[in-house]
Amino acid sequence: MPTTSKPALPENRVVALLRRAGLLDWFLVGLMVAVGLAYLLPGVGSKASPVPWKLLTTAGVALIFFFYGLRLNLDKMKAGLRNWRLHTVVQLTTFVVFPLLALAVRPFFGSEKADLLWQSIFFLCTLPSTVSTSVVMVGIAGGNLPAAIFNASISSLLGIFLTPIWTSLILHTGTGGGQLWGLALDLTWQVVLPVVAGVLLNHRFGSFAERHRQSLRTFDQVIILLIVFTSFCESFAEGVFTSYVPTDVVLLGLGMVALYLLIFGLVWGLSGVLGFAREDRIVALFCGSKKSLVHGSVMASLLFPTTASTGALLLPLMLYHALQIIMASMMAQRMGRQAAAT
């Protein structure tokens, strides 16, 4: 009598959604491993290490932005300018509402340890939106994909300039003329020039970049892991985290959840008042509520090159990154089911 194999159990819907988004893979695990290795072997990735980590990450950052520019099509971006009200809501949420919320809670962070935590939260709030995550979630929820691609791309470009301006004004990352000039040079040759070069070469090599999109994404993630590892190595070597306890991390995580839900609610309400179509409201929600770990890791190494607390600076961003994926996935799935039912 032939035996019948048991049918495979259906994959958890959230897990399947995360896998479809390309976000449930080795990367989030890699982030935890990078922090764990930095804790166990801080000397390996610190400035005292013989390995030229700074050179490797600097070159990697330039390549990240070159390949990003290579995938930007100017004609498509020009066409996307038409929906200006939607773009205004997304960009104002990303670069104005987020930072203002962080400034509003500053009085609650009084001690020296709390002030460092607030600075890291404010830095998170000044960052641009993600590209791939925002677009994927908009697609799953049944939103306006061309508008999502345009907004995510514009946000990344604006972040090159607006994030340093915010941190310079509030965190005084560029108070001295020499510092500001040096930062401008670093941003120019590590970020701006590679992006411009990529955009100019889009017509020749843009199709190549699209064909190898997943491989380039993996390269981005590897460079981020190197930046996270070296940042936390330096922080652990200097004892930056000695005053933190697990309760602090739990409370910070809850704060990141509250921040995400607050932004989500504000954008949902505003887009409703403005009379946005459902597809555009979805774009405003998912593009306006995200923060980019890619830009955060890069900007932290550029804006705070001499501080040992870069690891602590990235802690809220790493928590927000993981939590935004989980919460946005569940919300996108629900909206997608609603769209299919209508």
Q: What is the pLDDT of residues 10-38, one digit of tens each?
A: 556 656 655 555 445 576 678 788 888 98
The per-residue b/e assignment along 230-266, b for 16 or more CB within 10 angstroms, e otherwise, is: bbbbbbbbbebbeeeeeeeeeebbebbbebbeebbee
Give domain status of residue 26, yes or no.
no
Residue 93's pLDDT is 96
Tell me if 193 is assigned to some domain.
yes
Please tell me which residue, 238 or 180, carries the higher pLDDT value. Answer: 238
| 36-53 confidence digits (pLDDT tens) | 898 898 888 877 888 888
Tell me what pLDDT residue 221 has.
76
Does 246 map to a domain?
yes
Nearest partner of 296 among 322, 318, 263, 325, judged by Cα:
318
Task: Of 292, 302, 310, give the one whose Cα is nearest residue 168.
Answer: 302
Q: Is residue 27 part of a domain?
A: no
DSSP per residue, 30-77 = HHHHHHHHHHH-HHHHSTTSSS-HHHHHHHHHHHHHHHHHHT--HHHH
- Dist CA 175 CA 92 (whole Å): 25
Do the Cβ atoms of 45 and 53 come closer than 8 Å?
yes
Domain that holds residue 103: 52-335
CATH number at residue 57: 1.20.1530.20
C-alpha dist (Å) from residue 103 to 167, 254, 315 = 12, 18, 19
Per the model's pLDDT, the better-predicted residue between 123 and 147 turns out to be 123
Is it the case that residue 169 has pLDDT exceeding 50? yes
What amino acid occupies position 4? T
The identity of residue 116, as a single letter, is: L
pLDDT at 305: 64
Instruction: For residues 19 and 142, give the distance between their C-alpha atoms in angstroms, rounded to a whole number.
Output: 18
Split into its structural domains, the chain has a count of: 1
Could you tell me the pLDDT band of residue 176, with boundaries at 50, 70 and 90?
very low
Q: Which of 58-72, 167-181, 193-207, 240-254 has the lowest mean pLDDT?
A: 167-181
Q: How far apart are CA 233 and CA 235, in angstroms?
A: 5
Given a cut of 50, is residue 212 above it in pLDDT? yes
pLDDT for 281 equals 93
Q: State residue 178's pLDDT score.
A: 46
The pLDDT value given to residue 106: 92
- DSSP tag of 10: P
If one compares 7 and 166, the residue with the highest pLDDT of the two is 166
pLDDT(135) > 70: yes
Residue 109 in domain:
yes
* Chain segment 94-124, per-residue pLDDT in tens: 999 999 999 999 998 877 778 888 989 999 9
For residue 174, the model assigns a pLDDT of 53
Average pLDDT over residues 77-81: 65
Binning the chain into helix, strand and coil, the percentages to the nearest 5 are: 80, 0, 20
Q: Does any domain span residue 234?
A: yes
| Percent of the chain predicted with pLDDT > 90 | 20
- CA dihedral 130→232→53→296, nearest 10 degrees, is 20
pLDDT for 225-283, tens place per residue? Answer: 887 788 778 777 777 667 677 888 888 889 999 999 999 999 999 999 999 999 899 99
* The pLDDT value given to residue 177: 43
**Phi, psi of 128, rounded to the nearest 5 degrees:** -75, 175
> Mean of the pLDDT values across residues 298-324?
75
Q: What is the pLDDT of residue 280?
A: 92
> 119: which 2 tokens?
């600075």
Mean pLDDT comparison of 40-49, 178-187, 231-240, 317-326, highest-scoring range: 40-49
* Within-domain flag for 156: yes
Asked whether the predicted pLDDT for residue 80 surpasses 70, the reply is no
Residue 35 lies in a domain: no
Q: What mean pLDDT do residues 58-85 have?
A: 77
Report pTM.
Answer: 0.70
* Of 179 and 117, more confident: 117
Tell me: pLDDT of 147 over 70. yes
